[in-house]
Amino acid sequence: MGELLSTYAEARLPAAGAGKAAVPGNGPPLEMVPIPPQFMGRVAEQAELGDLLCQPGITVLLGQPGIGKTALAAKTLPQVFSIAQIIWQTIDAQSSIAKIVEALGIDPAVMTENQWVDVVVEQLRSQKFVLVLDQAEELLDAGKSALEVSLYRPAHRVYGQLLKQLAGHALQSSVLILTQQPFRDLERYQRKGLPVYSLQLTGLGAEDVRALVRSYDLGDKGYKRLASLYQGHPGCLMAALPQVVDLYNGDIEEFLKATMFVEADTKVAYEVSFDRLSAIEQSVLNTLASGTLTFLEIVKN
C-alpha cells in the first residue's frame, strides 16, 4: 500500500494558499464540523464518546432522528482537535469516497475506486484522523429486516469495502458513524473482537429536561410529565417549548392538556425512518400503535 502512495505522490493536492505539494492530510476540508444547537446534559455520553474517539477503531453512534447524534459528536470533537485532524462527511445519494481522498490531500482523479479505499486505509493506519460519517444510514439499503446483515446501496458498496478494511487493520485513527440504522456487518466484526464499538443514544434524563425547560425561562411545574411524554427527545422538546412560551404563556400543563406538538420536520424524519424498515417491521409497529396486540402477543403469534 505504501507503494501505491508512492506511485501517486505527484497526485498531492496543493495546500490552500501554498505553491508546494501538501503533505497527506493537508487537503481541503471536506465539510466543517457543524455548530451544535442548544445543548443540555449528555455529560456521561460526552465522556464515553470522547474516550472512544481518542483511541483507534470504529465507533457506531446509533439513535432515532433528532435524538442528538450530530450535536453530541460536534460537541465532543473539540476534545480531540489537538491530537487529530477531523474529516466530516454527511452522507447522501451523491456521496463518494473520492471526497475523503481529496480531504487527505490526494487527487482522486488519477485512481480507481478500489485504490481510493487503499489510500484512505493507509492514511488512517499511518496517521491520526477522526473520520465522521454523518447520516450514515443513507449508505444502507432500505427495507431490510433488522435480522439481516446490512446491505449497502449499490452506489455505496465501496463504503462497505472501506469499513471492512478499516475494521481489520491496526489504525492510528478513529472512525465515527452516526446512524439511525444498525450496521450488522460492523456488529459481526465487534463480536469477533475487532476494535468496533457501539453507543445507543437515548432521550435526555429528567434533570437535563428540567435544565432545558429553564433555559426557556419556564418554571419546573409539569417538566417531569413533559419529559415522560416526549421520552426526553431533545429535537421534539426544542420544537415544543417555543410553543409553550408563545401560545400557552409558559404554562407547560396547559400545553400538555391541549396537544402533543410535533414539528413537521420531525414527522417527516420519522416517516423516512419508517419507510426504511422491512415490511414485517412496519407491520409490527402498526399493530403496536393500534393497541390491538401487545409486543409479547405479537411474538407468540
182-226: pLDDT as tens digits = 998 999 999 999 999 999 999 999 999 999 999 999 988 888 998
Res 257: pLDDT: 83
Q: Are residues 214 and 140 in the same domain?
A: no
191 and 52 within one domain? yes
Question: Distance between CA atoms of 241 and 252, rounded to whole angstroms?
Answer: 8
The answer for residues whose C-beta is within 8 angstroms of residue 204's C-beta and 6 or more apart is 40, 41, 42, 212, 227, 232, 233, 234, 237
Q: What is the distance between the alpha carbons of residues 189 and 65, in angstroms, rounded to a whole number?
A: 25
126 and 223 share a domain? no
Determine the pLDDT at residue 282. Answer: 61
Q: What is the pTM of this model?
A: 0.79
Instruction: State the burial class of residue 293 (Cβ atoms within 10 Å of its Cβ: 0-12, 13-18, 19+).
Output: middle
Q: Which residues contact 53 (CB under 8 A, 6 or more apart)?
A: 59, 76, 77, 79, 80, 84, 130, 174, 176
Q: Are residues 98 and 210 in the same domain?
A: no
Say whether both 149 and 286 belong to one domain.
no
Q: In the listed set 200, 222, 247, which residue is the last one of a domain according to the structure? A: 200
Last residue of a domain, one of 200, 228, 247: 200
Verify that 62 and 184 share a domain, yes or no: yes
Look up cell 469477533; give the residue: 192
Predicted confidence (pLDDT) per residue in 231-267, tens digit? 899 988 988 899 899 988 999 988 888 766 555 445 5
One domain, residues 279 and 159: no
pLDDT score of 296: 57
pLDDT band at 270 (very low <50, low <70, confident <90, very high): low
The residue among 117 and 37 whose pLDDT is bigger is: 117
CATH, residue 61: 3.40.50.300
Do 178 and 88 sit in the same domain of this protein? yes
Same domain, 194 and 292: no
Closest CA to 45 of 149, 178, 189, 157: 178
- Nearest residue to 183 (alpha-carbon basis) of 140, 142, 247: 140
Q: How confident is the model at residue 164 (pLDDT cuts 50, 70, 90)?
A: very high
Last residue of a domain, one of 147, 177, 200: 200
Positions of E strands within 50-145: 57-62, 85-90, 129-134
Q: pLDDT value at position 149?
A: 55
Q: What is the pLDDT of residues 92-123, one digit of tens each?
A: 989 999 999 999 989 999 888 889 999 999 99
| Domain match, 223 and 167 both | no
The domain of 279 spans: 266-300
Residue 291 has what pLDDT?
59
Q: What are the tens digits of pLDDT across the range 75-87?
A: 999 888 888 899 9
Per the model's pLDDT, the better-predicted residue between 27 and 168 turns out to be 168
Same domain membership, residue 296 and residue 227: no
Total domains in the fold of the chain: 3
Predicted pLDDT of residue 290: 60
Is the domain of 130 the same as that of 191?
Answer: yes
**Coil, strand, or helix at residue 11?**
helix
